[in-house]
Chain A
Amino acid sequence: MADAIKCPVCGENNPKEFEFCQYCQSRLQPLTGPLKGADAPIKPGSAPTKKTTADLEQVLPQWLRDARSSARDASEGDLPQTPQSKTSPRPPAPTPPRPSAPQDLLAGLRSQAEDEDEETPDWLANITGGTPGSKKSTDDSSDVRWVELGGAKDSANEADTPSWLQGLAPLEPQSAQQQDGLTDWMHDSDAAQQPAAESPDWLRQTPADDNDKSFTNSADTFTPADSSDTPDWLRQMQAADSATQNNAAPAADNAPDWLNSLDSQSNAAPITSDKPDWLRSLDVADSGSQNNDNLFGSAAPAASDTPDWLKSLGSPDNAAPAQSSDTPDWLGALDSADSSSQNNDALFGGAATPSASDTPDWLKSLGSQDNAVPAQSSDTPDWLGSLDSADSSSQNNDALFGSPATPSASDTPDWLKSLESTDSSSQNNDALFGSAATPFAADTPDWLKSLGSADSGVQSNAVPSASETPDWLQGLGSETPSAPVSALTSPADDDWLKGMQSGGSQSAQSDPLSEADMPSWLSDSSAPASPTPEIESDDAALGDVPDWLKAAAPQSSIYDDLPLAQQPAAPVESSDAPDWLNAFKSLDPAPPVQSQSSSTFDSDSSLGGSSDALFTDMPDWLSGSVENPAPSPASEPPAEGEIEASQLPSWVQAMRPVDTGVEQISASSSEQKQLEARGALAGLQGVLPAAPGYAPTSKPKTYSLKLQATDEQLSQAALLERILAAEASPVPIASFSTLRSSRVLRWSLAFVFFAVVFAILFLRTQIFSLPVGVPFEIDGALKAVQSIPDGAPVLVAFDYEPARVGEMEAAAAPMFDQMALRPPRFTFISTNANSSILAERFMITGPMADHYKNGLQYLNLGYLPGGQMGIRAFVQNPRAATPFDVTFTRAWDSTQLKDVNSFSNFAAFIIITDSADSARAWIEQTTFERGSMPVVVISSAQSAPMIQPYYDSGQIRGLVSGLYGGAIFEQNNAGRPGTARIYWDAYSIGMLIAALLIVGGGLWNLFLGSRDRAAATREVK
């Protein structure tokens, strides 16, 4: 893609003439002049260099410059605004592809006007008739170089700028006073705002054209207006620019022919007549068809005043322009060559058919292109013609002479032969005079030989001699500005132009011998341009060349991004070329995007190389876009397996801090310049570690796995283990021995008891006396019974179990005997189902049998169900609760209960029970109903302790419990022996035996316990 520039930032292809990327606004063309190399890509880890902000202003992308401009404008709002600033508002953001070249061009103007101390070159002043501008006094204290178009201070400093250049600033009205010092044709560059009378038309028209064009390049600003004052050569440039848009016929009246030829690149581009022809051709070359990469590729109709050698530069591609007869043929060929081929990018690759007979033969051949029919001039050396034909036959050749053409070596100048030989050794056919440049031999001046030998990118073996350099060309070195003037054209142009051509294709290595003979600017043109430092050194050596022309030295990055196969063969930094010619380099037309073939000069290398040789010392304003195509290290493709280091745009360079912190960082980064070998970051340099200083400094300490514990801790741990083990192990449960001994004991005790009781009962002994004393409860019971009136209704509750019949009858019989003396009316009731029948037994077959037989009456109400509820119901309403007796007779209709209607109607209430609960139930439920009725409880011995409190509380009048109570009570029956007495000896023996057994058992248990404890004590000891 020789016609396109690959953006180093975004990777998009841009037209060749673009200075800034139309997509990301990054700079495509390297800087020149003092800023040369400032846009060099920054490698990660590289130490920043201290830059002056003003110098870096131009490096900034367009959008950033716009932003800065807006800020600056806002800050300077109090300053008087010039019409220019008002009429040129900046678009805020990067928008559609904008023509960057004009802005950069004006940036150069601005720098010229404000910051740079360069004055208008004398040669230019001579041309324009004005006075050389004096060094301006810089008002701006800062180092900022105002590069924006339409800046606020632009108008104030434009007095020092050549007027014809001031007009290049678009939309900036110029005052008449500011333009006085300039030639008229230069005023015309400001034609958009200025009257046509004050400035040349072609110059006036330039801003307007800039505004109209949506796709322009740096040369657009030279679009001249039709003005009679404009030099033809400059007018032609403007015409060529406008012809690109309108295809209008050029009107190149006053322009020199040689400049007209430059202007007429595309199809019949209009050319203003006031512009010098050589400048017109520049204009046309830059703004011509998009297929042209070359300055001279698309030639416009040449004016008659244009020097022939320059006319050829401006020859159109496809059309057959009216070539001026003054133009050297060889130059016309250059012009036509570029314009004839759509795919042609080469400098001399156009299909122009130079008709001039003055052109050297060898140069005519250069004009022959692929698609054009080469017009072989009779003057053209044969070797050059063969070159042309050879090139046209090859569609894919990159180099002009890289084709396998074999021109006759006899006519070829020696210097061109050397070029050919040099190129032939190269693998890529990028050089201008590549492999087929064998014809250079004897006819070529030595100095041109040297140029030809310095083929770019190829190790040149040729050592051209500069001894044969014409004087006029040497004079160009000292009078570079005047070089482009057509009037200086002489027949010797052939020679020095040959040198230019060859120099453009020379390699980066220049021959010192040739430089010695040549003017410095020209000798530099043959210097190799590949390494940037060398270029800078070369520029430094060019003291005789104006800086602004030096700045025009092409350093385009176009060449950086080209593949190796298409890389230019070390474009030459043609610093010694006439400055005005170097400026042409920036006017390269846009390359065709769809270009398929690349001839010798299609490639950027060929063009660049030749252009560099010509336009190294262009002023800054002309050096906008094209830069030295020296391949920078950053542009070199990474080795296989490595990751390409990222490149930072140069404007970032301006923002990189260079203070101590940065130095430290860079220092630290320099210490860590090891490439990352593994992982996703493999190939990157200076990768930050995961954690700074994290790397272990020593071998990690080994720790023993053995537990470090004290003896106490170990003993406790052992104890814990034992406890846990004891928990897990089964423990036999200590079971008591069986009742084997108890059975014997039981049998023994049973036998004793049976024997003693049976014997005592059987013997009817009365060994033991009855108890003498009468307890209070028994005494109370006795008194209560004795207090019962005769025939009074007495309620007797029989609530004991059949098993307790013997005890209960023995306890109750003495009382009933006592009562039988004054027989009451007994009414029996029972809350126990079995007790009702026991009442019958007590009265009929028991101790009261004799009394019953004697007419003792009683009423058995039977069973009273419901427990305490039944008692409560009976106490509340006896008639309703127990309407019938046990014989199912109405109880309350009997004589026993004839006067009893309620519970309180009973004279006494006797409770015979073996249960404390039963006694408590009767006592509790009869509390509020019994009144003063005496309650006597005859209880079993087992329940007596629980019933005793009721006596102590006074709730019952007396308590007779067990055989003991019956025995006492029996003693008060007038001495009648009763059941108690029968049982009393047995009972007493039994109680004694029990006491003895209890005491004996206690002592035996004590003995056993003492023995066991003693045994345990001995075991412990």
Chain B
Amino acid sequence: MNISLDLISGALSFLFTLLIFSYAIGDNPLFRIGVYIFVGVSAGYIASVAFWQVLYPKLIYPLMNGSLIMFVPLLLAVLILMKVSPRLAGLGSIAMAFMVGVGAAVTIAGAVSGTLIPQVMGTINGFDINIAAARGVGLIEMIFNGAFILAGTIFSLSYFHFGARPHADGSMHRLGFIEIMAWVGRIFIGITLGAIFAGLYAAALTAFIERINSLINFIGSFL
């Protein structure tokens, strides 16, 4: 009897799906078994990926091919391994510093150039007639959209303004107009979080549907 790989994969898929769905009745060993299996498999898979897709092709193989420059990443990798031992953890700080430094620089540079400035420009461009015309947006709609985005941006940023002055009764309050802007910004933030929640729910629902559909497909394959 030949057991198709799809059947095995479908069976395992069905089993682990039920194990995970068992969480609906609460934390249970089946759920934990399913989680532990997923975690173990993922870790094993990641380890193999790390070796076969990172270390071997990008370090070992070049070293084996005579690329001496790769001794530098090798040395840094060894130093990072020193973090395992508390006594030798200090040695790994060099590699960690290099990584953190380079990572921070790359991240900051990317955030500034790829997010901050383009987002500011995007807010400004909301009032650009040409862009609106290119998109086929009317002037009123453009102004409304731009004003809404500008107001949402300002009000949301005003919500995170925590500067305040003491009042006569000893309480601390922000300035009046900032308080109003913050209150409006809180609405924008609430809408955004609602949208995120909706997207999360939609993503989860889609995953649920897919799993139910896979179950149905697995069951339907036997029918």
Contacts and interface: CB of A to CB of B under 8 A. Distances in A.
B114 A964 contact: no
Contacts of A941: 198-200, 202-203, 206
A761 B42 contact: no
Nearest to B126: A952
Interface string B35-62: 0000000100110011011101110010
Interface string A451-462: 000000000000
B25 A747 contact: yes
A1007 interface: no
A350 to B, nearest CB: 112
A868 B205 CA distance: 30
A181 B115 CA distance: 141
Contact of A886 (B53, B131, B207): B53
Contacts of B203: 804, 807, 914, 940-942, 962
A802 B210 CA distance: 12
Contacts of B206: 806-807, 810, 941, 962-963, 983, 987
A1016 to B, nearest CB: 25
Interface of A: 743, 746-747, 750, 753-754, 757-758, 761-762, 776, 802-807, 809-810, 833-834, 836-837, 862-863, 865, 867-869, 872, 883-884, 886, 888, 914, 920-921, 923-928, 940-946, 949-950, 952-955, 961-964, 982-983, 986-987, 990-991, 994
Interface of B: 21, 24-26, 42, 45-46, 49-50, 52-54, 56-58, 61, 99, 102-103, 106-107, 110-111, 113-115, 118-119, 121-122, 125-126, 131, 135, 149, 192, 195-196, 198-203, 205-216
B115 A924 contact: yes
Contacts of B205: 987, 990-991, 994
A941 B199 CA distance: 4
A940 B213 CA distance: 19
B52 A888 contact: yes
Given A754-B212, A803-B207, A954-B125, A888 B202 contact: no
B213 A983 contact: yes
Nearest to B121: A953
Nearest to B191: A945
Contacts of A955: 114, 118, 122
A833 B51 CA distance: 11
B195 A945 contact: yes
A754 B17 CA distance: 13
Identify the interface centre among A750, A868, A926: most chain B CB within 10 Å of its CB: A868
A883 B192 CA distance: 41
A982 B115 CA distance: 37
A923 B114 contact: yes
A991 B202 contact: yes
B202 A925 contact: no
A942 B203 CA distance: 6
Nearest to B55: A865
6 closest A-B pairs by beta carbon, nearest first, are: A806-B210, A924-B114, A953-B122, A924-B110, A941-B199, A941-B202
A19 B54 CA distance: 129
Given A761-B213, A805-B210, A954-B122, A833 B110 contact: no
25 contacts: A757-B209, A803-B207, A805-B207, A806-B214, A807-B202, A807-B207, A833-B45, A833-B46, A833-B49, A837-B45, A869-B106, A872-B106, A872-B110, A921-B110, A923-B115, A924-B114, A926-B114, A941-B206, A945-B192, A961-B199, A963-B202, A982-B213, A987-B202, A991-B201, A991-B202
A982 B122 CA distance: 37
Identify the interface centre among A757, A776, A802: most chain B CB within 10 Å of its CB: A757
A746 B24 contact: yes
Nearest to B211: A806
B207 A806 contact: yes
B54 A863 contact: yes
Contact of B135 (A776, A883, A888): A776
Contacts of B26: 743
Given A923-B115, A927-B114, A963-B206, 8 more contacts: A754-B21, A757-B208, A806-B206, A868-B110, A941-B199, A942-B199, A946-B196, A990-B208
Nearest to B42: A834
Identify the interface centre among A863, A940, A944, A945: most chain B CB within 10 Å of its CB: A945
Contacts of A884: 53, 57, 61
Contact of B199 (A872, A883, A943, A953): A943
B110 A925 contact: yes
Contact of A883 (B45, B58, B107, B211): B58
B119 A986 contact: no
A834 B46 contact: yes
Given A762-B216, A865-B50, A924 B208 contact: no
Nearest to A951: B122
A994 B45 contact: no
A884 to B, nearest CB: 4
B16 to A, nearest CB: 11
Contacts of B209: 757, 761, 806, 963, 983, 986-987, 990
Contacts of A952: 122, 126, 149
A802 B42 CA distance: 10
A410 B216 CA distance: 178
Nearest to B20: A803
B139 to A, nearest CB: 17
Identify the interface centre among A867, A926, A927: most chain B CB within 10 Å of its CB: A927
Identify the interface centre among A802, A914, A924, A964: most chain B CB within 10 Å of its CB: A924
A950 B118 contact: yes
Nearest to B23: A750
Contact of B114 (A925, A942, A954, A991): A925
Contacts of B119: 949, 953
A761 B216 contact: yes
B201 A994 contact: yes
A810 B210 contact: yes
A869 B103 contact: yes
Identify the interface centre among B53, B102, B196: most chain A CB within 10 Å of its CB: B53
A836 B57 CA distance: 15
Contacts of B114: 920, 923-927, 955
A753 B45 contact: no
A81 B121 CA distance: 121
B110 A942 contact: no
A945 B50 CA distance: 32
B212 A869 contact: no
Contacts of A945: 192, 195-196, 199
B158 to A, nearest CB: 18
A753 B122 CA distance: 40
Contacts of A940: 199, 203
Contacts of B57: 883-884, 888
A962 B149 CA distance: 23
Contacts of A758: 212, 215-216
A757 B206 CA distance: 10
Contacts of B53: 833, 836, 862-863, 865, 884, 886
B188 to A, nearest CB: 12
Contacts of A925: 106, 110, 114
A837 B26 CA distance: 31
A620 B134 CA distance: 146
A392 to B, nearest CB: 115
B54 A865 contact: yes
A862 B51 CA distance: 12
Nearest to B47: A833
Identify the interface centre among B45, B118, B212, B214: most chain A CB within 10 Å of its CB: B212
A963 B206 CA distance: 7
Nearest to A750: B24
Nearest to A753: B208
A753 B49 CA distance: 37
A804 B125 contact: no
A11 to B, nearest CB: 82
B202 A962 contact: yes
Given A869-B102, A920-B115, A924-B110, A833 B199 contact: no
A97 B61 CA distance: 125
